[in-house]
A and B are shown apart, each in its own frame.
Chain A
């Protein structure tokens, strides 16, 4: 389905994949196409030679032996040379972001009262839309980038940080949850107008 393929990309599974590998290896380079001008990358052989891909507890970096931390990411002690204070600041922020909920109000045209949902709970658009459909007893149409939601009176929209009303599904999931202030499920002619605009 077109919709699910689009969302698969948005889910950005590669970014959340657990693997052994020091930063800057092949995988991470794929995610920064804009940063690398030349089309020559560290050859796959290079990184394999360095033992980044193996699952053993000891990985070899060129000439040196190092101890590899057991968790999924292989980290060298004290590398990169970032002060612990700074590392702790960012770790704390990351953890904070991971644990606090992200509740937003959801209104539906014609419904007597609003609901609140925690965006953190959902891993992507399909889950979110399913939850909304269940909560408000409606069905949202088929999503396409060109036409928005087709085949339904209902269109999910959200207000972003700049105060603009946007169609749910256009931006990558991470960007959506960090910019979504509240949601509104539009209905009827108003909805169709938004669905056609790109």
Chain B
């Protein structure tokens, strides 16, 4: 029946199909739908920049306006991937520029971006509106200056946790006076900023809804900025400290009064430097907050955090440091009844652990916040009993990431592995999509995961398991698995090679400090030409090259339609 409709009708119907997975599904129905879909697709998501080439992207989706690209594997976040591994955006930007695609939005994660790329980007797309860079590196503020100067209709510049070399170039001043279209600006990861240029920029951009400052913006400047932008919905403070010796009661009063007028703020973050006695200035807006991120606010004692949280009855997402303590989490549990996402970060990852949370805090949260669906929890210890209780209280987990700071630590009460606890979680949260394990774990936990985690897409494993069986349970059972990353676990060639076809149904597999051998990886590579099997070997290559029985230190494999990449460095060996 649909075949008798003109293409425009199909296109119009497809307009309502927005998620890229749904659009991918639509494109597989028949050739007609494939054709209509590909010409009308505007937003494209590429989870691995080496799975496809820019040329093929452009060929299939000539109308692309918004592109998301991801580069390095996730474990690169934890220094497990050496510098210069890859993930360069340059070829993408060059190809898009050459093809005269009308790119408007670019979102990059874990990629290497150069000043030249940013310059080309800024000059090649007249309607360019939005640049979001997450955990990227390789560029300086010169590149930002190009974006500021040349993108006449820029709405969004969002820099999240990037490594940016800062030149003395006042890049913010490169926004022309005619730039009045900004809606979102985030430069929290920079160390310096030109204050005068910032205040002028805010003053002439009345549509600014999201502003995240850096540590160089003092509290007095924040007050002036908020006077100009009371319409902000999303605020990241910079420095939130009143100078010790100055007469600061006047400043504090003005600040509190100004903040009070910002009735639209729903998301609050920053506090990169904070003096606890200034915190009460934000109390007036706490009751409107749905997202609060205090995870960079070191030096606030648990008691002060608790005082603040008591005002935040509408919180849905909370990111906090473990100095809140179990007692603080109990307050969160009794105050934030709508809480959906909680992230508790370690305030002192290598320290003596005097500020910490344990299973007690987590159980309290689960008991008070049944809507909880996303968790990231760094803690000193965890028990099976606690996890079982959490599983009973919260059955809606989509993301469950638990990091017990001491690797392979058992349940301290029973001295048992945490298999039963995690088993309970996956059994009760049937829609779980992402899981990170820690603590002492045997093959049994993987049996549970294979059996119950039917929707699981991403699994992170460290210091876990006893044998190949563990990995096999996961590969066999988790039909929707897309990303598997494993470190320091006794999984070897037998598990790796049992079902080689599985890896084409996944985005990628990372294995480091496991038992897979060079020979096993070679066998896999030979059987599966549409996988890139990369061996990352930072040690002496010559010595390594000849021993098939030698264990591979780091292996990263991913499906691809374009064969071995040509930009691999010397220490990356793609097996064929």
> How far does the alpha carbon of A160 sit from the alpha carbon of B468 in the complex, in Å?
59
Closest residue on chain B to residue A38 by CB atoms: B413
Whether the Cβ atoms of A28 and B352 lie closer than 8 Å is: yes
Is A57 positioned at the interface, with any CB of B under 8 Å from its CB? no
* A-facing residues in B383-422 (Cβ within 8 Å): 403-409, 412-413, 415
Q: Which of B78, B381, B463 contacts A83 (CB 8 A)?
A: B78
The digit string for A28-51, where 1 denotes a CB below 8 A from any CB of B, is 110110111110111100100000
A93 at the interface (CB under 8 A from B): yes
Q: Is A28 in contact with B296, judged by CB distance below 8 angstroms? A: no
Q: Give the interface segment out of A59-67, A117-125, A188-196.
A: A59-67
| Contact code string A82-122 (vs B, CB < 8 Å = 1, else 0) | 11111101100100000000000000000000000000000
For chain A, residues 1 to 45, give those with C-beta under 8 angstroms from any C-beta of chain B. 14-15, 22-25, 27-29, 31-32, 34-38, 40-43
Q: Given A35-B358, A81-B78, A85-B163, answer yes or no on A75-B350 (Cβ-Cβ < 8 Å).
A: yes
What is the CB-to-nearest-CB distance from B110 to chain A, in angstroms, rounded to a whole number? 10
Neighbouring B residues of A64 by C-beta, 8 Å: 408, 463, 488-490, 513
Q: For chain B residues 159-184, which have a beta carbon within 8 Å of chain A?
A: 161-163
Chain A residues within 8 Å of B407, by CB: 22, 61, 76, 79
- Asked if A24 contacts B354 (CB within 8 A), the reply is no
Smallest Cβ-Cβ distance to A160: which chain B residue: B277
In the complex where A27-B352, A62-B463, A83-B78 touch, is A42 in contact with B380 (Cβ < 8 A)?
no
Distance in angstroms from B342 CB to nearest chain A CB is 17
Q: How far is the CB of B377 from chain A (nearest CB, A)?
A: 12
Is the C-beta of B68 less than 8 angstroms from some C-beta in chain A? Answer: no
Interface footprint category on A: 35 or more
Query: Taking the complex as formed, is B189 at the interface, i.e. its CB lies under 8 A from any CB of chain A?
Result: yes
In the bound assembly, the distance between CA atoms of A68 and B334 in angstroms comes to 42
Residue A162 at the chain B interface, CB threshold 8 Å = yes
Q: Which residues of B contact A90 (CB under 8 A)?
A: 298, 347-349
Q: Determine whether the beta carbon of B75 is less than 8 Å from that of A78.
A: yes
Contact A82 B404 (CB under 8 A): no
Interface pair B412/A38, CB less than 8 Å apart: yes
Closest to A81 in B: B78
Q: Does A161 contact B (CB under 8 A)?
A: yes
Which of A25, A83, A161, A178 neighbours the largest number of chain B CB atoms within 10 Å of its CB?
Answer: A83
B244 at the interface (CB under 8 A from A): yes
Measured CA separation A73–B345 after assembly (Å): 20
CA distance A31 to B352 in the complex (A): 8
B190 within 8 A of A: no
Which residue of chain A has the shortest Cβ distance to B322 in the bound complex? A35
- The B interface, classified by DSSP as helix, strand, loop or mixed, is loop
Please give me the residue from chain A that is nearest to B76 by CB atom.
A84
Given that A23-B405, A34-B325, A93-B298 are known contacts, is A83 also in contact with B77, CB under 8 Å in the complex?
yes
The reply to whether B405 and A80 contact each other, CB–CB distance below 8 Å, is yes
Which one, A28, A66, A84, contacts B78 given CB within 8 A? A84
Assembly CA distance A66 to B360 (angstroms): 31
A61 near B463 with CB under 8 A, answer yes
Bound form: Cα–Cα A33–B111 in Å: 43
> CB-nearest residue of chain A relative to B276?
A161
Does more than half of chain A's interface fall in helix, strand or loop, or is it mixed? loop
A61–B406 alpha-carbon span in the complex (Å): 10
Within A148-198, which residues are at the interface with B (CB < 8 Å)? 161-162, 178, 181
Q: Are B490's CB and A63's CB within 8 A?
A: yes
Interface assignment of B331: CB less than 8 Å from any CB of chain A: no
Residues in chain B near residue A80, CB distance under 8 A:
346, 349, 378, 403, 405
Instruction: Say whether A24 contacts B413, CB under 8 Å.
Output: no
Across the interface, which residues of B come within 8 angstroms of A24, CB to CB?
Answer: 353, 380-381, 404-406, 409
Contact A83 B135 (CB under 8 A): yes
B326 within 8 A of A: yes
Q: At the interface, yes or no: B79 with Cβ under 8 Å from chain A?
A: yes
A32 touches B77 (CB 8 A): no
Chain B residues with CB below 8 A from A135, complex form: none
| Structural contact, B357 and A35, CB atoms closer than 8 A | yes
Note all chain A residues with C-beta closer than 8 A to B378: 80, 82
Contacts of A29 in B (CB 8 A): 353, 380
Whether A37 lies near B353 (C-beta < 8 A) is: no
Name the interface residues of B457-505: CB closer than 8 Å to any CB of A: 460, 462-463, 466, 487-490
The docked-state distance in angstroms from the alpha carbon of A46 to that of B79 is 29
Q: B345 contacts A162, CB within 8 Å?
A: no
Q: Which residues of A contact B513 (CB under 8 A)?
A: 64, 66
Q: Within 8 Å CB of A34, what residues of B? A: 325-327
Contacts of B380 in A (CB 8 A): 23-24, 28-29, 32, 35-36
Q: Which of B225-258 contact A (CB under 8 A)?
A: 244
B28: CB under 8 A from chain A? no
Q: How far is the CB of A53 from chain B (nearest CB, A)?
A: 14
Q: Which residues of A contact B440 (CB under 8 A)?
A: 62
A23 and B409 CA atoms in complex are apart in Å by 11
Tell me the complex Cα distance, A23–B344, Å. 17
Against A, the Cβ 8 Å flags (1 = close, 0 = not) of B337-366 are 000000001111111111011101000000
- B80 within 8 Å of A (CB atoms): yes
Q: Which 3 A-B pairs have the closest CB atoms?
A: A24-B406, A78-B78, A28-B353
4 extra interface residue pairs, beta carbon distance < 8 Å, beyond A79-B407, A81-B78, A82-B78: A23-B353, A31-B354, A84-B79, A161-B276
What are some 12 contacts across the A-B interface (CB < 8 A)?
A24-B406, A29-B380, A64-B463, A76-B407, A77-B80, A81-B403, A81-B460, A82-B78, A84-B77, A90-B347, A161-B275, A161-B277
